[in-house]
Amino acid sequence: MTIDRRTLGRMALAAALSGLALSGAAAQGTFPAKPIQLIIPFAPGGATDLTSRALAKAAEKPLGQPIAIINKPAGGGAAAMQEVAKAEPDGYTLINFTAIQAAIAPHMRAVPYDTAKDFTPIMLYGAFNTFVAVRADSPYKSLGELLDYARKNPGVLTAGISVIGASSHLGMARLAREAGAQVTFVPFGGGAPAITALLGRHVGSAVTSGEVLPHVQSGDVRLLATLMARRVPELPDVPTVRESGFDWDINSWLGIAGPPNMPAAVVQKLEQAFLQAMDDAAFKKSMTDLAVATVRADAAGARKQLDDDLETFGDILRALKMGRYAQN
């Protein structure tokens, strides 16, 4: 079930927040003069939800106003995106902006917003790790060996993924296409069930995010590569996709954005507050615990990343003939 309200424990938090709110608002005089609403286009409880909550909590202090979180997962997050795209550009309505809704979804299906025009990116704070995983007792020790096997036995290698069109799927599909291999993708609706199926020998490989790490530590799963640009600090032995002989990487970023045409001063204020919040200990801990990679980008950097990725993911999907480019 996908529910949220401002928070069940609001009573408990209210006292602490109102103290902050009063002192902060009086000192600033201008923006922000009232609580800010951050809409999360996912159901509560996932890594995106938990990390952006931690970030918002930490940004309350520099902003001097509480940030109310509302989860609106309807339409795969499209409803939330549409709502923010049409909201007043006063800085009081923000969205948890991710590559999934912003850069991939427009290429997968018709969405009621135009990412390039309808949003003001404010900052990026993180990105999902994406790993190619096999069981520890599997004979494949590297990404090359796995793809070799898939090339020689077309369609025999199964890869558990969360959903079609997830960055994990696009990454592995691109790997397979460039290696001339044919992989059968089996979507499980989430990373955890895909790993379960890998452990139970129901699929031959899995492409997942950080939720695989406990199974790596217990020695049941071996990671062959990360699809990100840099090696993960906790896993120095896992090579990147570039080190495995490909000239690209995948960045499934997470950030904050607002409606289009926001005043520059408001954008700047929010950008600084959220970037400052990234130094918060509780936020950092949530990122490490949930195995989300830290990516730091200001408003300009976020804009560039968005424009680049809109194009990149479009190219990948066109090449793979998927989503809106599927030919039946």
CB closer to other proteins, 7 vs 23 = 7
User: Which residue's structure tokens are 């369609």?
Assistant: 155
Minimum CB–partner distance for residue 21 and other proteins (Å): 16
Residues 6+ apart with CB under 8 A from 183: 150, 155, 157, 158, 159, 172, 173, 176
Distance between CA atoms of residues 328 and 325, nearest Å: 10
Residues 109-138 that bind other proteins (CB under 8 A): 109, 112
Q: How far is the CB of 151 from other proteins (least distance, A)?
A: 17
**Using CB under 8 A, which of 17, 20, 79, 229 touches other proteins?**
79
Q: How far apart are CA 176 and CA 188, in angstroms?
A: 19
The residue from 35, 75, 239, 301 that contacts other proteins (CB under 8 A) is 75
Q: Under rule CB under 8 A, which residues in 267-306 are in contact with other proteins?
A: 282, 285-286, 289-290
Question: Exactly one of 21, 173, 213, 297 binds other proteins (CB under 8 A); which one?
Answer: 213
Nearest to 162 by CA among 184, 130, 133, 187: 187
Nearest-5° Cα angle at 132, 109 to 282: 85
Nearer to other proteins, 109 or 230 (CB): 109
Angle at 180 (CA atoms; ends 178, 181), nearest 5 degrees: 110
- Within 306-325, the residues that bind other proteins by CB under 8 A are 323
Which residue, 107 or 269, has its beta carbon nearer to other proteins? 107
The answer to the question of residue 155 lying near other proteins (CB under 8 A) is yes
Nearest to 163 by CA among 129, 132, 188, 182: 188
189 binds other proteins (CB under 8 A): yes
